[in-house]
Structure 1
Amino acid sequence: MHDVVIVGAGPVGLFLACELGLAGCSVLVLEREPEGHSPFRAKPLGTRGLSAASVEAFYRRGMLHQLRTASGVHDDSGVHDDSGADPDAHVPSPPRGVGHFAGMVLDPAQVDVAALPYRLPSPATEGMLTYLEAVETLLSEQASRLGVEIRHGVTVSAIAQNDESAVAQAGGQEYAARWVVGCDGGRSAVRGLAGFEFVGTEPQFTGYTMHATVADSEKLGFGINLTPTGMYLRLSEGHIGMMDFDGGAFDRSQQPTRDHLQAVLRRVSGTDVTLSEVHLASSFTDRAMQTTTYRRGRVLLAGDAAHIHSPLGGQGLNTGLGDAMNLGWKLAATVHGYAPHGLLDTYTRERHPIGAGVLDWSRAQVAVMRPGPHGQAVQKVVRDLLGTRDGTTYMFERMSGSSIRYDLGGEHPLVGRSAPELRLENGTRLGDLMRDGQGVALEFSTDRCLHESAMGWEGRMRYVAAPARNDLGLGAVLVRPDGVVAWAGERTPDREGFERAASQWFGAPEI
């Protein structure tokens, strides 16, 4: 019997598998699709945007360089590497790109990076473009190195569980584990089979993505084009996306024809453009749904299995990776028996509000884009806001993930946020200390007053005492394995406060 069976070998399932494998868990991944190349996961149709928070997750596990290489991102584009910046700087460099809200592109020069909370220069300060095949190949190779078994062509047809284990049934075979996690996408089989309640709102539009030959492509603008009748994107030659406000009438149950796609493109673009040939095409909607909980007994959900919404702003993949980063170490601690009471329940408590916020974020964009005088009026107001420094900075915080703060009950304003990229005097970065998936206790003094306490959690957290080039006025900080600050102390660290926080997140200390 495995410790964990993960259903779904997309980026979320594979990232979770890597987290569990890194922690020494026995993991089996089941994927219904057979192995092999899929044009919908390769460039250009598989292109996705990773937020700064997602890039940071790959960086903290030592995979950022490989991801950039696999994605074709070079030093002069995409992700900033601030290693050459002033190591004592209080803020990172301005972002090179920001993204869009409801088709309205943000100006990166308008982002006030000095106003962002607890940000420091880092190799992972902003997002990047990649594609699904590159991400999945990288994570599959990493998972295999960590001892994870991945099986393709396995379709789960039933889920059973008791107080001690859960079983995924597929093709007459049973796959037993202590825990089962559904990472099997928006049409999740695990979600339905395990009885999760899935609630939300119905769609307003049908979206399309296609690779086509356009006879008169000069009639279409490059980039994101918000029009009075919808929106279309032309990201590269022949790669076109469209959003048609038809109430979601044309969904994946139908295969879009060339004539249908041409009619939609003409309506949305306001041109008489002609599609000579459609090579590949698929459709989607902005249906926004979320499970009421992310755990039922010994079955958990992550990614699109737990929440679906429109792809506006590229929040789906990023939210799913955040789920995996949050769940992985908690589930591993539970498997190994040192998790404090209720630790696994904090997964839903912390991530469900994040997912709900993303659903509302996508709904807001749909409302702004909706054709007609009401949508046009709201667009004008939003454009005015995006023309201000505060408005653009707010949008950047939301889209980059830097505004996320879990309610962990700590008094210090840094608690619950992603830890800044603190850098020690010897050049070691916080990210360097997190590659093994343990928590990190940093004490910016050679007095080592927390040393004896930290030793009680050896093997669960790494303790380092050294001066920092920029300690943000802190005396010490405790960082969870997912990079979230669990406790922060001033110049003279509060030993009792540190021990309480360590016990809360890492269980009882070893005596």
Structure 2
Amino acid sequence: MHDVVIVGAGPVGLFLACELGLAGCSVLVLEREPETGSPWRAEPLGMRGLFATSIEAFHRRGILDPLLTESGIQHEPGAHPDADEPSPPRAVGHFAGMVLDPAKIDLAALPFRLPGRTPEAMMTSLEAVETVLSERAAELGVEIRRGDAVSAVAQDDERVRVRAGEHEYAARWAVGCDGGRSAVRRLAGFDFVGTEPQFTGYSMIVTLADPEKLGPGFHLTPTGMYVRMPAAGHIGVLDFDGGAFDRSRQPTRDHLQAVLRRVSGTDVTVSDVHLASSFTDRAMQTTTYRRGRVLLAGDAAHIHSPLGGQGLNTGIGDAMNLGWKLAATVHGHAPDGLVDTYTRERHPIGASVLDWTRAQAAAMRPDPHGQAVQKLLRDLLGTRDGTTYVFEKLSGSSDRYPLGDDQPLVGRRAPDFRLQDGTCLGELMRDGRGVTLDFSTDRRLRASAAGLGNRMRYAAGPAKNDLGPGAVLIRPDGVVAWAGARVPDRAAFERAAHQWFGSPDN
């Protein structure tokens, strides 16, 4: 029997498998697709944006450099760690088809940002992400079995049984990371609620007889939006038809040409279709991310339109949050209720992302109301404050878990603290343990941190910029769990440490 069975070998399932494998859990990943290669996961159709929270997750597990290499990106850090301020990103995406100007982003206004070695944003492909994570998973002893779809999920108080193909697998826990049409979600009886679509979207690789009739980049029109990507023939279209055309039908050349002509307002001719798929902005979320010994992450737990590129980033955030909590539960040293904090912390983040995409769909509606909102948004995005606000939401910089502490750092992703000896937080987190950074001079927290054994790393010394606290306690997912005064309160530190890491006796 495995500790955990994960259904789905996409980026979310593989990232979670790596987190659990790093913590010494026995992990089996089941994937229905028999092969790894797919044009929908490679360039250009599989291109996705990663923002700071996800990039830091890869960095803090030591796999950012392989991802940059696999993505064909020369390593150009966001800023040198000795710089006074982080460097602005070169490209940051769009809101409702309105492209953000990187020059208008005030990184100094973002909460608790420090210069680091990671970029603020980057483009990669699903194929590159999965390649890097698959190799890492193999190094950690994770087993991946491909080619069988899950047909049954049953559980009792001690285990979960998952049937895939002709085989049944038993594990102490199961996690569905099997996408928007999740079999695990359906078979385990999760409630899935939300809103119906406003539009049908299309992603296609086509040959155009007259490509000059479509301008490059994003174009909001009186009937929807189209975007002409840099790759030859790569076109995206949003048609506000109430989601009438869904993935149950394969779009034909005539249908794609009619939609493209209507939305673009041109008589462009599609002479050949190489690949095409449709999607909608249906926004749905499970009411909980856990039912007994079955959990959900990524698109299995929440679906929405791809506007703003939040899907992959939200899913990686789910995996980072769940991995260490589930591993601690498996190993028996988790404090009571630790795994339930996964839903409590991540469900509001997912709900916020759904609202973020709903707001964009509303702003893009081809009617006088939507066009009025577009005008207002263009004015706001023409300002430094407006662009910075949107980027803060896109990047996850504004995310904060309600951990019951008013100290402003607590609940946020920890900045990349760097000690005067050159040690940085990202390097300390490679093994997946929690970290205590003690910036004080009396080192009074050393013994308390040591009492948690291999669940905690302790590093001490003055920092280039400690942002005020005398010490910080950082969870394995990079979230600040406690921050102390210049002279840290040892008793308060121990309470926080035991709340998240269990007692020293466990």
Question: Cα deviations across residues 347-401 of structure 1 (Å, max 9, x unaligned)?
Answer: 0000000000000000000000000111101111111111122111110100001
Q: Does 213-222 or 177-186 show the bigger shift?
A: 213-222
Deviation at 1:8, TM superposition (A): 0.2
Question: 1:190-229 counterparts in 2 under 5 A?
Answer: 190-229=184-223
Partner SS for 1:392: helix
Matched residue, 1:417: 412
Aligned equivalents of 1:95, 1:505: Cα separation in 2: 34
Say whether residues 1:6 and 2:6 are aligned partners.
Answer: yes
Counterpart of 1:440 (choices 431, 435, 443) is: 435
Aligned equivalents of 1:363, 1:34: Cα separation in 2: 35
Counterpart of 1:384 (choices 348, 362, 379) is: 379
Question: 1:451-470 counterparts in 2 under 5 A?
Answer: 451-470=446-465
Matched residue, 1:26: 26
Taking a change above 3 Å as real, the CA distance of residues 486 and 36 of structure 1, as seen in their structure-2 partners, is: closer
Deviation at 1:446, TM superposition (A): 4.4
Deviation at 1:81, TM superposition (A): 3.6
One-letter code aligned to 2:388: T
Residue pair 2:420, 2:461 contacting (<8 A) in 1 also: yes
Aligned equivalents of 2:497, 2:75: Cα separation in 1: 38
Question: Cα deviations across residues 109-163 of structure 1 (Å, max 9, x unaligned)?
Answer: 1111111110001122411111111111110010000000000002110100000
One-letter code aligned to 1:10: G
Residue pair 2:289, 2:297 contacting (<8 A) in 1 also: yes
Partner SS for 2:497: helix
Question: 1:319-358 counterparts in 2 under 5 A?
Answer: 319-358=314-353
One-letter code aligned to 1:440: V
Aligned equivalents of 2:418, 2:152: Cα separation in 1: 49
Question: Cα deviations across residues 49-98 of structure 1 (Å, max 9, x unaligned)?
Answer: 1111111110111111111111111246xxx3423x535x2x31222222
Deviation at 1:284, TM superposition (A): 0.5
Matched residue, 2:79: 82
Deviation at 1:272, TM superposition (A): 1.1
Question: Cα deviations across residues 420-473 of structure 1 (Å, max 9, x unaligned)?
Answer: 111111111100000100000000134211011111112111011111111112
Matched residue, 2:88: 94
Question: 1:68-79 counterparts in 2 under 5 A?
Answer: 68-75=68-75
Matched residue, 2:135: 141
Aligned equivalents of 2:55, 2:328: Cα separation in 1: 24
Matched residue, 1:39: 39
Partner SS for 1:312: coil
TM-score (norm 2): 0.98
Residue pair 2:78, 2:87 contacting (<8 A) in 1 also: no
Question: Cα deviations across residues 467-508 of structure 1 (Å, max 9, x unaligned)?
Answer: 111111221000000000000112111111110110010001
Residue pair 2:200, 2:245 contacting (<8 A) in 1 also: yes
Counterpart of 1:395 (choices 390, 393, 399) is: 390
Partner SS for 1:82: coil
Q: Does 92-101 or 131-140 show the bigger shift?
A: 92-101
Say whether residues 1:431 and 2:422 are aligned partners.
Answer: no
Partner SS for 1:313: coil
Aligned equivalents of 2:355, 2:468: Cα separation in 1: 36
Matched residue, 2:97: 103
Q: Does 64-73 or 478-487 show the bigger shift?
A: 64-73
CA RMSD of the aligned region, Å?
1.1
Matched residue, 2:56: 56
Question: Cα deviations across residues 284-322 of structure 1 (Å, max 9, x unaligned)?
Answer: 000000000000000000000000000001111110010
Taking a change above 3 Å as real, the CA distance of residues 36 and 354 of structure 1, as seen in their structure-2 partners, is: closer
Partner SS for 1:311: coil
Aligned equivalents of 1:386, 1:352: Cα separation in 2: 28
Aligned equivalents of 1:417, 1:132: Cα separation in 2: 27
Question: 1:158-173 counterparts in 2 under 5 A?
Answer: 158-173=152-167
Aligned equivalents of 1:151, 1:225: Cα separation in 2: 43
Q: Gaps spanning 5+ residues in structure 1: where?
A: none
Matched residue, 2:170: 176
Say whether residues 1:121 and 2:115 are aligned partners.
Answer: yes
Counterpart of 1:495 (choices 484, 490, 498) is: 490
Q: Gaps spanning 5+ residues in structure 2: where?
A: none
Aligned equivalents of 1:120, 1:164: Cα separation in 2: 45
Deviation at 1:411, TM superposition (A): 2.5
Partner SS for 2:150: coil
Deviation at 1:268, TM superposition (A): 1.1
One-letter code aligned to 2:23: A
Aligned equivalents of 1:260, 1:94: Cα separation in 2: 41
Partner SS for 1:225: strand
Aligned equivalents of 2:393, 2:406: Cα separation in 1: 23
Matched residue, 2:299: 304
Aligned equivalents of 1:223, 1:434: Cα separation in 2: 39
Deviation at 1:12, TM superposition (A): 0.2
Question: 1:267-278 counterparts in 2 under 5 A?
Answer: 267-278=262-273
Aligned equivalents of 2:165, 2:465: Cα separation in 1: 56
Question: Cα deviations across residues 3-54 of structure 1 (Å, max 9, x unaligned)?
Answer: 0000000000000000000000000000000124211111111111111111
Matched residue, 1:476: 471
Residue pair 2:78, 2:88 contacting (<8 A) in 1 also: no
Partner SS for 1:459: helix
One-letter code aligned to 1:162: D
- Sequence identity (%): 76
One-letter code aligned to 1:425: Q
